[in-house]
Chain A
Amino acid sequence: MAQFPPAVAEAFRDRPDQDRNLVLNMGPQHPSTHGVLRLILEIDGETVVRLKPEIGYLHTGIEKTCEAKFYQQVVPMTDRIDYLCPLTNNLAYCLAVEKLLGLEIPPRAQWMRVLMNELTRINSHLVWLGTHAMDLGAVTVFLYCFREREDLQRLFEMVSGQRMMTSYFRIGGLALEPPLGFFEQVKKFVDRFPGNVDEYEGLLTGNPIFMMRTKGVAYLSANDAIALGAGGPTLRGSGIDIDLRRDAPYSGYENFKFNVPVRSEGDVFARYLCRVAELRESAGIVQQALAGMPEGPIKADAPKVVLPDREKMKTQMEALIYHFKIITEGFAVPAGEVYQAVESPRGEMGYYIVSDGTAKPYRVHMRGPSFANLQTLARMCEGQLIADVIAAIGSIDVILGDIDR
């Protein structure tokens, strides 16, 4: 007999009486599984009897690699975890290390972080909306979403020089002052963006085909959502009112006014409505950040941790020494441990960092929201039609980099 992978063999072994069920492999190269997600489906006709996610195809051992790097060298690695919202990862990591150090961040850096973070949320939700709608047969929305996403990536390129792997936040503040004309460009974008959201909604929200594919599909009750550890819009779509930006404010989010969209239906359509409403809320937060952007430094006053400006390095001896020290030896972080959670577009993104007092983290653990959300997939799909599995995968917005790390 051919050698089956253990998960497939197990699906056969467990249910010898039910050999009328077919074991179907979906992924890891299936285009609608959004990356290298592999699902083992046990189906009876068109009905899914059991669903088992098989993950790990993108496991790169980032947590292990982090242990061999200086604290500041970990920042670019965090970009590569959840590659649709790199700035949220940067933020969670930087906040955690800053908490370990007891660093205070100047207001301008905090507001810039909020602004960039919300642009990232819009960026991530646009990719989700485009691909999710395309999975369900609405190809036009994809083109519209990527049109706006292109503008956002130009903005990211303006501040950081990179479209995707930005690494714009540093421990103690920001990498660079935003360039001239940046705020005007952002203003232009968020002024017209609500109109774009109307456009997407015009194509989808009242669309009978889209509603038939999403309403009442992949239901998740509030109790199940909590028990299975769902987060973000998946949890809010099931009627749980939670948003870490409001409930445990970080990086100055307490200064911003926004609503947390919650829907109680618990189906794909409810999660869609939550995310679309979040697009508008994020644009509102960006408007507030632009209006109230404080002046001042963008880096904390901590010469032993924050790299000095190039200008200072060329004129001041101490700055040059600190620069050399940070680059070659890193900086020691007081022993201790912190867990810093931020609201990523997909839910709670948590960084657990243990320091043993040296310049390298003793342990970095990333709590990925997609990893937690993926566990709800079986509950959503078992007993449903196989075509609805695609709608369910799209609705929890999985990012495989975030799952496998």
Chain B
Amino acid sequence: MPLAPPITDIAQLKSHPALGLLTEWNASVVEAVKFDRDELTTWIEREAIREACAILRDSSSCPFNYLADLTCVDWYPSEPRFEVVYHLLSIAHKERVRLKVRLDGSSPVIESVTSVWPSANFYEREVFDLFGVRFTGHPNLRRIMMPDDWEGHPLRKDYPVEGYR
């Protein structure tokens, strides 16, 4: 089963409900799209992520009401260094979409989506703990996995696997 090449043209992917909703709301927040291996990835402008999530959640035609996962990828040493990744699921329509936001390495800050999904609470704390990305508006942004007095963010690519000695 050879892999089909990814589709990156927005016009071709308009039929996907998530992209349809986003472009209908405000096409300028969608920075790029990719449809690869049957999964849609949408890059969203950093400032618009919380509103974009709210739009997707509250849609009447296809509500993406479930935040399945929230994580981060470190592309060190390239810039923008971080990509925060949101996996949304529409329980009623069995559709999935992946949202991504690119963040600078120097001051990775992004608006929290805990006001849209309270479930983002632990996930954002985990990303803060392990990557050092700050979420503004988060109710309790503390370390969750590592001890409170830990130094550094272990899942960053410049953090050695065996830790600092």
Contacts and interface: CB of A to CB of B under 8 A. Distances in A.
28 contacts: A5-B148, A6-B148, A55-B144, A56-B144, A61-B154, A63-B130, A63-B155, A64-B161, A102-B3, A226-B66, A227-B118, A228-B118, A228-B119, A240-B91, A247-B94, A248-B94, A336-B37, A339-B39, A350-B69, A352-B69, A352-B87, A354-B73, A363-B73, A365-B71, A367-B69, A375-B118, A375-B119, A404-B145
Nearest to A242: B91
Contact of B121 (A61, A336, A362, A375): A375
Nearest to A227: B118
Interface in B113-161: 117-119, 121-122, 130, 142-148, 154-155, 159, 161
Contact of A362 (B73, B148, B159): B73
Main secondary structure of the interface of B (DSSP, over half): loop
Given A61-B154, A67-B161, A339-B69, A227 B1 contact: no
B87 A6 contact: no
* Residue among A55, A63, A226 having the largest count of chain B Cβ atoms under 10 Å: A226
A191 interface: no
Interface of B: 1-3, 6, 36-37, 39, 41, 65-69, 71, 73-74, 85, 87, 89, 91, 94, 96, 98, 117-119, 121-122, 130, 142-148, 154-155, 159, 161
Contact of B65 (A67, A100, A226): A226
A243 B154 CA distance: 34
Nearest to A52: B140
A294 interface: no
Contact of B146 (A59, A100, A367): A59
Contacts of B148: 5-6
Interface in A197-242: 226-229, 240, 242
A105 to B, nearest CB: 10
A334 interface: yes
B87 A350 contact: yes
* Residue among A227, A229, A248 having the largest count of chain B Cβ atoms under 10 Å: A229
Contacts of A67: 161
Contacts of A85: none
A226 B64 CA distance: 11
Interface string A46-71: 00000000011001010111011000
A227 B66 CA distance: 7
A362 B83 CA distance: 13
A331 interface: no
A229 B67 contact: yes
A400 B91 CA distance: 26
Contacts of A228: 118-119
A104 interface: yes
Nearest to A69: B161
Contacts of B161: 64-65, 67-68
Nearest to A68: B161
A337 interface: yes
B39 A64 contact: no
A59 B145 contact: yes
Contacts of A334: 3
* Residue among B2, B6, B91 having the largest count of chain A Cβ atoms under 10 Å: B91
A100 to B, nearest CB: 7
Nearest to B161: A68
B96 to A, nearest CB: 7
A164 interface: no
A268 interface: no
Contacts of A5: 148
